[in-house]
Amino acid sequence: MRTAERVPLVSIIMSMRNSAPTVGAAVRSVLMQTLHDWELIVIDDGSSDGSSAVVEGFDDERIRLIRESSSAGLAARLNQAVALSKGEFIARMDADDICFPERLARQVARLREDPQLDLIGCGAVVFTSGGELVGELPVRLLHQEIAARPFVGFPLPHPTWCGRANWFRNNPYNAELRYAEDQDLLLRSFRHSRLGGLDQVLLGYRQDRLALRKLLPGRTAFMGSVWRNAISSGDALAALAGIATNGAKGVADVATFALGLNRQMQRKRLRSVSPATRQQWRQLDEHLASARNSAGSVG
């Protein structure tokens, strides 16, 4: 799909597993980017459905598909994709999310504007598979805001990340983790990194509902990361406070689900969708539908 000599500006890294229903729209949203100098590295993490066939259906030399016969997990596959990447910048994306057309252009422009920035995020609108807009993820713009409570967590949504390739290579994911791999990485790297964000909605984040089977293992994994970091950094008291906060949130999560209030909890974590974002989403949805119809059976 891609010639060996080509060196793109941005490498988009994506791991997928049984993502046949969603990866087609994700790839089409990359094809619609106003910044065209990119490569998309998709690693199939041992899918048992037609995920790879969907990606193979796109005739674009900028798309590179790596098929793996077994699952190694998201963190391991992202490290693999980083090692394969050729771009000056690396952007993250999940196989069930949607990029707004200006995403790469705006994030790369911000990183070029401020050479001290290593990694930035952006605003994201949460949507369901049925097309309902649930809300917007709150965005933090400055390193001090993002890293204000490191032992509690970093408000920098993983699929919105875009940063310098050297940062990703110097700060690999912990491949042993199956949950909270992004928060663990930020906890290990925030002291020697510069984080930031764009106050612009540039990603559609698919979330049909909050799932306790993901929330609790995620909190548990991050609490383990906090304690490991405390041992190496000597910040035991702050770490214990962070562990206590995450433990309390876990108890609240269980109570919320027991009462059937998970949808209310999901909305409480989000801010209202702005009229401008609704209009942009409608236009994007129409363009994606048109592109899918033109492509026939692909994705």
β-pairing verdict for 10-16 and 98-99: unpaired
Taking the C-alpha atoms of residue 181 and residue 76, their distance in angstroms, rounded to an integer, is 10
| Cα–Cα distances in angstroms (integers) from residue 28 to residues 1, 43, 64, 82, 148, in the given order | 16, 17, 14, 22, 36
Three-class DSSP category at 124: strand
User: For residue 194, which amino acid is it?
Assistant: R
Asked if 157 and 124 count as a contact pair (C-beta separation under 8 A), the reply is: yes
Domain ranges of the chain: 10-208+269-295
CB 14 within 8 A of CB 81: yes
Q: How far is CA 97 from CA 29, 208, 267, 298, in A?
A: 9, 12, 19, 17
Q: Which of 39, 58, 50 is nearest to 16 (CA)?
A: 50
Query: Which of 145, 149, 143, 153 is closest to 238 using CA atoms?
Result: 149
At residue 259, the pLDDT reads 61
Residue 53, amino acid: A
Place of tokens 């998201």: 74
Q: Residue 211's pLDDT is what?
A: 67
Q: What is the pLDDT of residue 203?
A: 98
CATH topology of domain 10-208+269-295: Spore Coat Polysaccharide Biosynthesis Protein SpsA; Chain A (3.90.550)
State how far the Cα of 69 lies from the Cα of 290, in Å rounded to an integer.
Answer: 33
Residue-level pLDDT at 3: 46
Neighbours of 113 (CB within 10 A): 8
Q: pLDDT of 143-201, one tens digit each?
A: 999 999 999 999 999 999 999 999 999 999 999 999 999 999 999 999 999 999 999 99
Angle 236-258/212-233 helices, nearest 10 degrees? 170
Amino acid present at 281: W
The series of mean pLDDT values per 10 residues for the chain, 299 residues long, is: 73 98 97 98 97 96 97 97 98 97 98 98 94 90 97 95 98 96 97 97 88 78 89 81 84 70 68 94 94 71
Q: Is the pTM of this model over 0.75?
A: yes
